[in-house]
Amino acid sequence: MLLRCAVLGVATALLPSTAADAYPVDCAILLCLAGGWPASAECSHAKAVFIRRITPWPVEPPLQIWRCPMKAATNQRPAIAPLARLHEAEFFQELEARGFARLVYQKEGAARSLEDMRLAVSAKLAAGADVDISDPAFEFVRSLRVFHMDFRQTKEPGYCERRDSSRLGTYGLQGDFLWQGHSLRSARRVPTSDNDRGGPQFTVTTSWNAPSQSAIHQMRAGGECRALRFRAVGVSWEDFEGNPGYEEVRY
């Protein structure tokens, strides 16, 4: 049965915008991302910040987990599962105190409260974050990909000029963020048939190295050297259950 997310309100009213700005928004981004961005005022605010960060300029990591204070005493109950211990984190207690609406995940009739979606908390400072998120349960953090696409193609006398300044942002084992170069356009030789002399025949196929939802796929990667300019920032992710998502900002 597919995961169904529901939001249960707390006794107090939902946070006003001023209060929403008061809690660490990256903690909210973390929780809402895990739950597939369920409908709530808090998650709407968190996703707005998430998207704003990839909107030029500057282009920032959409989740900055190092800004979420998740320190806690983790050696008290080391035997329990990492996700089950996340409720001990200081930031969760703060969010509850501020009236953060509680997410409840219902699967096959069994409800799992937000506490069961908690990160494994470590006493030592880890690179990039003050929490150990190396557990496979947190692959949803490492699933994040930021595609900063900047591609230009112009026809010059005798040749086709292509300039690709694209880059790809990824998250490391402990939530650290890294930019690296990225080739937006790829070309490869594909064998077709043999000619009369017995030699192989090849054709060149081109494609875009971008998520299938990106608007770049509306443009031809090969063929004639047409004037082309594409700039956008896209972010892809998977939630805790592996459900994919994508947002893109053109500029």
Per-residue pLDDT tens over the stretch 42-67: 888 999 999 999 999 999 999 998 88
Band of residue 223 on the pLDDT scale cut at 50, 70, 90? confident
Q: What is the pLDDT of residue 47?
A: 96
> Rounded to whole angstroms, how far apart are CA atoms 79 and 154?
60
* Closest by CA position to 35, among listed 100, 91, 118, 127: 118
pTM > 0.75: no
Mean pLDDT of the chain: 72
Q: What pLDDT sits at residue 92?
A: 55
Q: Are 92 and 83 in contact (CB under 8 A)?
A: no
Cα–Cα nearest to 243, from 78, 35, 93: 35
User: For residue 39, what pLDDT is reported?
Assistant: 80
